[in-house]
Amino acid sequence: MVADLGSSASKVFYRVGGGATLPLWMGAEVAPNLSQAVLTQFRGSTRPQDSAWLELGDQVVLVGESAKTCLETNSIRANKSELAAYKIAAALGVVAELESLPPSFEAVLWLALPLTELGTREAIRNQVEAICQSGFRFRGEPLQVGLTMQAFPEGFGLYLNRKGELDALGQDINQRRTLIVMMGHRNLSVLCFDGGSLRAAGSNSNGPGFWPMFEKAARSAGVTQPDYGFLMARSHPTKPNSSPWRGGGCLTLVSR
């Protein structure tokens, strides 16, 4: 499993055994520390990624779309590490239900993090491993997962893709400098690789993402927050309920 737990959504790709690689999209919201009473509104046959909850002892945690009814604000400015363990456990639960996995299974996770949050990877690993090893319930079904997790800077996958492209041409990426620019919903990351190594001095995750740029442009144009929905709808006239800012994008730059 590969996951980017962004502030717009949790974007996941997973593969079971030797099967196909499949995408999974879940909402970014998390509502922890709830009582069992909240579950009465979620009993049904909806898709697990749209109606996800965890039971950790007496605590109920809603994840994704199901959490929206219990939150007053979006978590766009939250550090990814604060709620990552719940999002990972929920994604594992969704995959287990979709793929009819047994109550106990092994999983390998590659997690993308901004450079500024790579220092939290041990905390995330400890939190999610504790949840998975102790066992939890996902939508009422017990699960126990033997999880192996590694964290990488967001944008690293683009570097690997570029390396593969150059390898196919008989060229060595280590002989050139490569810049990866990845813009997400919340922030923009720049990775500088030179001689095959990531150069910390030329890399950062401090740039503005889609949403901060949209807010700045809106303020400059005199657009107030109550009008954001109308402005977004006008930008996609054929899809009035969609937002061009919902997901992140990426751009790869190569200096030769």
- pTM value? 0.77
Is the distance from CB of 8 to CB of 184 less than 8 angstroms? yes
Q: Return mean pLDDT, the chain.
A: 85
DSSP annotation of 109 reads: E
Is the distance from CB of 254 to CB of 162 less than 8 angstroms? yes
Residue 145's pLDDT band (cuts 50, 70, 90): very high
Q: Which residue has the tokens 């400059």?
A: 220
Ranking 29-43, 105-119, 129-143 by mean pLDDT, the lowest is: 29-43
What is the CATH code for 2-153? Answer: 3.30.420.40
Query: What is the Cα–Cα distance from 176 to 143, expressed in whole angstroms?
Result: 46
> Structure tokens of 38?
């909240």
pLDDT digit string, tens, across residues 4-48: 998 788 999 999 998 999 999 999 999 999 998 888 877 666 899
Helix (H) or strand (E) run with residue 129 in it:
helix 121-134
pLDDT digit string, tens, across residues 80-107: 567 999 999 999 999 999 999 999 999 9
Q: Domain segments of the chain: what residues?
A: 2-153, 156-255
Burial (CB < 10 A; 0-12, 13-18, 19+), residue 176, is: middle
Q: Which residue has the tokens 């927050």?
A: 225
Question: Cα dihedral sign for 143, 130, 148, 94?
Answer: positive
| Distances from the Cα of 222 to the Cα of 169, 193, 225, 226, 227, angstroms | 50, 40, 10, 12, 10
